[in-house]
Structure formats: structure tokens, C-alpha cells
Structure 1
Amino acid sequence: MSTTKEDWTGRRFEVEVGPVAHGGHFIARHEGRVLFVRHALPGERVVVSVYEDNGGSFCRADAVEVLEASPDRVEAPCPFSGPGMCGGCDFQHVAWDAQRQLKAQVVQEQLSRLAKIERDVVVEALPGGPLEWRTRIRMAVGRDGKPGFRGLRSHDVIPVDHCVISRPGMVEAVADRKWRAQELTIVQDGDGNRHVGEVRGRHTARRAGTGTAVETAAQRKWRVSADGFWQVHPAAADTFASVVGEWAAAEPGQRAWDLYGGAGLFASVLGRQVGESGSVLVVESFPGAVEDGRRNLRRMSQVEWVADKVELAVTRKLPVENPHVVVLDPPRKGAGKVVVAEVARRRPERVVYVACDPAALARDLAEFTVQGYRLAELRAFDAFPMTHHMECIALLVPEMS
């Protein structure tokens, strides 16, 4: 007897929408299968159109008609948002306060399910409101040479002439001409300078700006590569550095590690705390970030750099002396078991973990629990309004503390 499921791609159903799920969609069910629905809200009754069905227990769909609307539904401020349009913003149709509540629910669910940690979560707003905050964007270029953003789970390029979450003028600066590049990078730095680069293969050709972005955070000016990593929300870097500093609480003469250290934002905070009699070891795999960090922190002799992948460095390159404090700011996939185990084996007094993905955070917290650490503090920030993304910062301490 065949167990092949009927392909629902292109079919429409009327469903009642359930809770939010990690990834910017909501749960609904139809004929025993799960539907991951975008552009919906819990409690709504909607007509969905299935856009992806791989034959398993679930498929993906868009809400294309709202029959019974949630009180949290608003009109999307962006004309390019909606089914079949730009895939960048998941929550344009959600009131801003409700966006943060949904994100809090996602963090709570991930902690409970993956780490067995039950905790109330509040997602805090950053200054500036939900629009015109993004300072770094990457645009695709269509076959016609026009720049735009890709559709959801698609290579199609949706041409746009502005973006409501980006700083005014960023998209407009490139939208009125055709480009031969594959992608464009547009950065507006803390001094208001705009940098535009054309990405062709692995190379970026600078078309506007110096290529060096000037930013201000953690009580200093930073000069970093416009194409390198920096927080995209103008208030994020300073806010996160403040929280990391408060929870790290390193003392003069102590040893600190800054893993996945980027250009040294958190290392600068740790360096001030430990002073010249202490030490800060930064591990970062991207050579450009290491170069930026060394240049920006050249007067902090207590800061040492290791240019390597963290999972390799922690097992073979780090000092014998155990650190008092460890800061972790891993990529979206998280630190992973090897890094967590090596950090925990050194028994630091405090571990400050900065996370851009709540599922990865929860998985790593579960591993820290196995290694004898507990979650002491947690804060979450809406560093990406109108999207499902957020940033969390966690403080871990040994279980007996």
C-alpha cells in the first residue's frame, strides 16, 4: 500500500491559526498535517495557499485571505511585504508591541523544549522605533540589473525602490540604475557616511564611500570594514556591550576570554575591566575582523588575538591558565558541544553568552547544564523589528554559585 502523500503545493485551505513557531511562522493543522503559515496571527481564521510541500508531515503556506482577524493585526507599512513578495520581514502585519510578545513566546518555548528551563521572558525594545533602523543591507541583483530583495525560500529578486526598515536613502541610492554585480552591499555608518559595494564572486568592488565604516560604541570610536560584521541596529552594539560588561564584572588582574570576538567590541569592555595587569584573549576566525580589532585596540596591550576557528582554538591553542570570565558570541548555529564542554572544563566564574538564535541558545544552555552550569540571568532585545529575529544575552554561573 502506497504511503506517498498527495502534493498540496498550490492548494488552498481554510484553517484556524495556532501559536507562533520559531522562524517567523505560525502553526495550523489540516487533515492531520502541520502547516507552517506566514502572514498570519494566533487565533485568526484564514485561507492559506501552500507554496512548499516536500511530502512529509508538514508543509509551508501563506495566509492569502483573512476571514477573522486578530486585534494585533495592522496594515503592513511596506508595499513589498506579503505573500509572494519580499521575504525579509515576517512581522510587518503585526503591531509592534505584539511582535515583541510573540518573540518572547518563542524564546520561552525554545528554552522549555530544548533546555528544560522554564522562565518568563520579556523582549525589550531598543531606541528608535520599528522603522528606519537598519544600517547594513545586502541586495540581490536581478537578471535585468535591477536591485531588490529575494522572495522567501526563493532565488527570485523582487525589485524595490525603498525599504521601510532601512535608513532613509540607502535603497534609493542604488535603485535608480542597473548593476552588473551579483549583489550590492549598502552601509550607513554611525557618522552618516554611506558605503556601497558591488559583490562579484568573492570580491567586492567599492562604488561609494571609503570602505571603512565609523561606528561609536562602548565609549570609543571604531573603524571597521564596511563589509565586515557590525550590529545592524544603531543602538545594539552599545546596548549589548553595556550588558556584557555588567554581567562579566571582571576585576583588575583577572583573565578573560572573548570567543567569536569579531572586531573586539566586548574585548574592549573586558580590557578596561581587567586593566593592564590582567589579560583578554580574543578568538576570531575572520581575518578582516582580527585586523580591524588589532588596529582599534592597539593601545590595549592586555588584549591578545588568536586568528582561528573557536572550536579548534579551544582544544589546542588557548593558554593553560583558566579564565575567570568567558564571553561567547557565536554565529547563528551556536557554539556547539565541543566549545561548551571546553569552556565549562576551565570552570570560569561567569559565562556571558550573546545569541542571535533562541534555538541555538537553548541547545547550548542544555549542554552547559550537563556541564554543571545554570542560567542566572537572561535578557532579550528586539534588535530586528518587523522580523522574527531577536538577540538574547544570558549569564551562566557554576551550579553551586
Structure 2
Amino acid sequence: MKQDWTGRTLELTVGPVAHGGHCVARVDGRVVFVRHALPGEQVLAEVTEDAGKSFCRADAIEVLTPAKGRVTPPCPVAGPGLCGGCDWQHASGQTQRELKAEVVAEQLSRLAGLDLPVTVEELPGGLLRWRTRVRFVADDDGRAGLRAHRSHRVVPLADCPITARAAVGAVLPHAWSAGDEIESTEDADGEVHVRRLPGRGRRPEQQRGGIAVQRAAGREWRIAAHGFWQVHPEAAETLARIVGEWAQAAPGARAWDLYAGAGLFASVLAEQVGPRGRVLAVESGRRAVSDGKANLAGLRQVSWRCGQVEQLLRDRTDSPQVVVLDPPRKGAGREVVERIAAAGPERVVYVACDPAALARDVATFAGLGYRLDRLRAFDAFPMTHHVECVALLTPATEGG
């Protein structure tokens, strides 16, 4: 008979952090994934989800013995059964970064067989008001908010402390239609761009959104306001700097920028290779490619290809000196990694927003003769479990 502990209250000693914004505890031979807890705490946890397998999910509803890093959440709806937008508001900033470092190290160890010390670095600006791009949703009464964790239920909000004030103020005070999704973006000039995506089966509005101004890598970028750009205002500049330091593309060399977005990293590579070099930028989003072409119009060494990376690499016969890739959360995957390795670059700079996907791809690279040379991690998403990593991979024959 399957076990169903849903609604049951358990007294738990909380174990280590796990990928996904929770910690691990064990009861009667079963794993319990506990949110709103910290490692080492003694808590009362209510089981919220149980499919009858070897694990269940729970929320810590009372902390009997708090950990040293516990703090009072700055948001009143960052608690059990409430908003699912944040994972670690109950932890100090230093504790959050330590937890994320443990997750990155554990994923690399478990999935790639690498035991490395990891430090998650803080970005300027603090824990609050860093989020410049957010999508809210309206509840049945037209109040904007965010969904509860692992639920479609909308938690209406009076504020979102991690989101830029102007982006919040353009949406939350207003009434919307039930089911609407409302995207709000604050750009580098402080201008807020709002787009409504009607819900409940209504025909989507034909809105393209505004043009956002962003600044990074010594350039001013004009891009689709609701297209891809780093959410944290310091992230794009930080990542571009690290990519430039590690890419080291020589003048006249060839380089690839895969999953290029609007061309942030392509611009860095183009400056390195100069007018005699070549940079191939591959991106599947047509609007991003259009924005990239417009923003990098003066860099004739950059050529653009619009389409899926795995498809466009199948017929490539050139040998880039450097490859930069910034894949979506699921990672690049075996086919893309194999084609990069087959091209034989001297350096691969991998920008990752998911440590598990990064670790899987690093393991694939290792089987193809590339080793993880360097790794840096940044807290580009404070209060959440997300972390941004940059990895440098080089041929294993170089340096041992």
C-alpha cells in the first residue's frame, strides 16, 4: 500500500541543502524535502505533497531550534503556503551564498565526479530591489501577484521586495482581468515597460512591447523590453568581463557565441578578434537576432545565424579558437557538447544558470577530452535558489 503523509506534521532534524530551494531530512526511511528550513535546524514540518514514492515534500511551519544564519524574512508572504517567488528569505545573505556554493559543489561532485571548492560571489546592490524583469499574474479578483510554490494559485501582493520599485509600482496597484499575465521591465534609464498577456482563453494582444535601454561591455544596447537580458542590473557587465578575461580570443581568430541572445558576448569576442577575425553568433529567437544585428551593426566581423544551435552546428566545418555558450536552464546537451568538442577549440567558456545542467555538460566534455579549468559563481538571484556560474574548459592535455 502506498504511503500518503499529506497533511501530517513531522518533527525533523534538517539535513543538508539540496538543489531546488529546500533541505533534506529523513523519516522512517523516506526522504523529506523541506522548504523554509536551514541545515541543522529542528523543525515541525507539514507534508504538502506526497505521491507515495520514496520521498515527499514539506514546509517547516515551526522552528524549534534555529540555525545561526536564520533571519526574519523581509517579505510578509515569504512563508509556508504563500508566495513561491523566493526560497531563502529566511537566511542571511552570507548563509544564502554558502548554501548555493554547497549546491554547486554537490552537483559537480555527483554528476561530474569533481570535488572542487566553490565560492558564490556577491554582486553589488544587496539582497533587495535587484530584480528588473518580472512577470506577475492576476487572480480571480484581478489582483496582481505571484503563484504559490508548485501551484497555480495566485498570491496577491502589495509589494515584491526583490523587484525594482518602479517595476512593482507599474503593476501591483492596478486592477487587471482574471488570469492576465503582466510583464514589467525596468531598464538602465529607469524607464518601465509593461506588457499584458490576456488570460482565460482571450486572444493575445498584438503587443511587441517597448525598446529597453541597457548598458554593458562598454556599449549601450537597445533591445526588446521583454526579450532576454540578465535580470540583475550588475550581472550582464560582470559576466561579460569574465567571459572576456577567459576567452582570450587572438586578433584574427575565429570564435563562436552560441545561444547568443542580443550579442552581449559576441561583442566582447568581436573586440578581441578585431576586423580580421570572425565571430559566429547563433540564436534561435528572431527578435533577439534582429536586435543583435542592429546593436552590432558596426562590427562586420560578427555574422548571425538564426535557428537551433544543435541544428546549425551540424554542418559547420570551421575550427574556432574559442567557443562561448550561454544555454537555457536545461543546458546544452550531449549533441551540442559533442559538436563543440569536435571543432577543437582551445577554450570553451560556459555560462550557466543551472548547476545540475552545467555539471552534466561538464561530464560530457570530460569524456571528450576537456577538463574544467576554472569556475566562478555569482549570486545573481538573491533570495532564490538560482545561481549563475561561469566555467572555463580547456583540452585535458594542456596542463595535465
TM category, shorter: over 0.9
TM-score, normalising length: structure 2: 0.97
Partner of 1:387: 384
User: Does structure 1 residue 104 correspond to structure 2 residue 111?
Assistant: no
Counterpart position of 1:303: 302
Counterparts of 1:173 and 1:344, CA distance in 2: 46
**Whole-Å Cα distance in 2 between the matches of residues 179 and 274 of structure 1?**
50
1:344 to 341, 344, 347: 341
Q: Structure 1 length normalisation: TM-score?
A: 0.96
Amino acid at match of 1:331: P
Equivalence for 2:320: 323
Paired position in structure 2 for 1:94: 91
Q: Does structure 1 retain, via aligned residues, the 8 Å contact 2:49–2:57?
A: yes
Quote the residue 1:200 is aligned against: 198
Once the two structures are TM-superposed, the CA of residue 398 in structure 1 deviates from its matched residue by 0.3
1:380 alignment partner, SS class: strand
Q: Aligned-pair distance for 1:393?
A: 0.1
1:60-85 per-residue CA deviation (whole Å, 9 max, x = no partner) reads: 00000001110110000001100011
Q: Secondary structure at the match of 2:193?
A: strand
Structure 1 residues 155-194: aligned runs within 5 Å: 155-180=152-177, 182-194=180-192
Change (3 A) 1:105 1:204: farther
SS at match of 2:57: strand
Whether the 8 Å contact between 2:166 and 2:192 is mirrored in structure 1 is no
Is the 1:356–1:392 contact (alpha carbons within 8 Å) kept by the matching residues of 2? yes
Aligned to 1:223: 222
Letter in 2 for 1:188: E
SS at match of 2:166: coil
CA distance in 1: counterparts of 2:150 and 2:377, whole angstroms? 27
Letter in 2 for 1:174: V
Whether 1:151 and 2:148 are equivalent positions in the alignment is: yes
Following the alignment from structure 1 to structure 2, what is the Cα–Cα distance between the partners of residues 269 and 284?
A: 16
**Shift of residue 204, structure 1, vs aligned partner:** 5.2
Q: Which residue of 2 aligns with 1:261?
A: 260
What do residues 245-282 of structure 1 show as CA deviations (whole Å, max 9, x unaligned)? Answer: 00000011000000000000000000000011000001
Which moved further from structure 2: 103-112 or 162-171?
Answer: 162-171
* 1:43 matched to 2:40: yes
User: Is the contact made by 1:198 and 1:205 (CA closer than 8 Å) also made in structure 2?
Assistant: no
Shift of residue 5, structure 1, vs aligned partner? 2.1
* 1:171 partner SS: helix
User: 5 Å matches for 1:286-301?
Assistant: 286-301=285-300
Offset at 1:200? Answer: 2.7
Q: Contact between 1:182 and 1:199, CA under 8 Å: does it hold in 2?
A: yes
- Letter of the 2:305 counterpart: V
* 1:193-244 per-position Cα deviation (integer Å, ceiling 9, x unaligned): 001110136845659xx61100000000000101100000000000000000
Identity among equivalent positions (%) equals 59
Q: Corresponding residue for 1:249? A: 248
- Matched position secondary structure for 1:143: coil
User: For each residue in 1:289-345, what CA deviation from the matched residue of structure 2 results, as whole angstroms up to 9, or x when unmatched?
Assistant: 1111011001110000010101111113x3x22101000100000000000000001
Alignment correspondent of 2:127: 130
Contact 1:86 1:151 in 2 (8 A): yes
In the alignment of these two chains, the number of paired residues is: 394
Match of 1:169, SS state, is helix
1:113 corresponds to: 110
Aligned mates of 2:3, 2:183 — CA distance in 1: 42
Q: Is the 8 A contact 1:161 1:172 kept in 2?
A: no
Per the alignment, do residues 214 and 372 of structure 1 end up closer, same or farther by CA in structure 2, a change over 3 Å counting?
same
Alpha carbons 2:166, 2:186 under 8 Å: kept: no
SS of residue in 1 equivalent to 2:165: coil
**C-alpha distance in 1 between matches for 2:129 and 2:175:** 24
Query: How do residues 371-386 of structure 1 correspond to structure 2 at under 5 angstroms?
Result: 371-386=368-383
What do the CA deviations read for 1:78-134 (whole angstroms, capped 9, x no partner)? 011000110010000001001000000000000000000110000000001111111
Change (3 A) 1:205 1:192: farther
Which stretches in structure 2 are left out of the alignment for 5+ residues?
none
| Contact 1:77/1:164, CA 8 A, preserved across alignment | yes
Aligned partner (choices 15, 19, 32) of residue 18 of structure 1: 15
Aligned-partner Cα distance in 1 for 2:157–2:47: 25
Spell out, residue by residue over 1:180-200, the C-alpha distance to the aligned partner (whole angstroms, 9 max, x if none): 262000000001000111013
**Aligned twin of 1:284:** 283
In structure 1, distance between residues paired with 2:204 and 2:329:
24
Contact 2:3 2:53 in 1 (8 A): no
**Shift, 1:144, TM fit:** 1.2
The gaps in structure 1 that reach 5 residues or longer are none
SS at match of 1:227: coil
CA RMSD of aligned residues (A): 1.2
Structure 1 residue 383, shift from structure 2 partner: 0.1
